[in-house]
Amino acid sequence: DAGVTQSPTHLIKTRGQQVTLRCSPKSGHDTVSWYQQALGQGPQFIFQYYEEEERQRGNFPDRFSGHQFPNYSSELNVNALLLGDSALYLCASSLWTGGNTGELFFGEGSRLTVL
């Protein structure tokens, strides 16, 4: 049973560039959430996708955008990168069962460094 897979695992960008991160949810899951984790901090919620729509959004600027595809996989796009965007980006999947209050299954993350 495939778990949550993310790509790439590491990447380095320069300020002002754009980045796309990818996530495939655990088999059978239909909901994908993205989190940003700065060094030494807890994960911060970016947004959540279900049925190809953004369902919830955290306190992140419009530079952060996402997409969910019909096969439930998802992308996170960040435009006009800032040094402060350097972080571990985590994708989490779950099953939307009338409220989605259960546990999340996380991928290993994409480590983004902005120079």
Partner 1 sequence: SQQGEEDPQALSIQEGENATMNCSYKTSINNLQWYRQNSGRGLVHLILIRSNEREKHSGRLRVTLDTSKKSSSLLITASRAADTASYFCATRDDSWGKLQFGAGTQVVVTP
- 13 forms beta bridges with 114
Rounded to a whole number of angstroms, the minimum distance from the CB of residue 7 to partner 1 is 13
Residue 57 or 79 having the CB closest to partner 1 = 57
Would you call 95 exposed, middle or buried from its count of C-beta atoms within 10 A (0-12, 13-18, 19+)?
A: middle
Cα–Cα dist 48/38, whole Å? 19
Rounded to a whole number of angstroms, the minimum distance from the CB of residue 80 to partner 1 is 24
Rounded to a whole number of angstroms, the minimum distance from the CB of residue 39 to partner 1 is 8
Stretch that binds partner 1, among 12-20, 63-71, 78-86, 87-95 (CB under 8 A): 87-95
According to the binding rule CB under 8 A, does residue 84 interact with partner 1? no
Asked if 97 contacts 10 with a C-beta cutoff of 8 angstroms, the reply is no
Q: Which residues lie below 8 Å from residue 59, measured CB to CB, with a gap of 6+?
A: 44
Pairing of strands 31-37, 19-24: unpaired
Residue 79 or 113 having the CB closest to partner 1 = 113
According to the binding rule CB under 8 A, does residue 41 interact with partner 1? yes
Q: In the range 53-82, which residues lie near partner 1 by CB under 8 A?
A: 55-56, 58-59
According to the binding rule CB under 8 A, does residue 31 interact with partner 1? yes
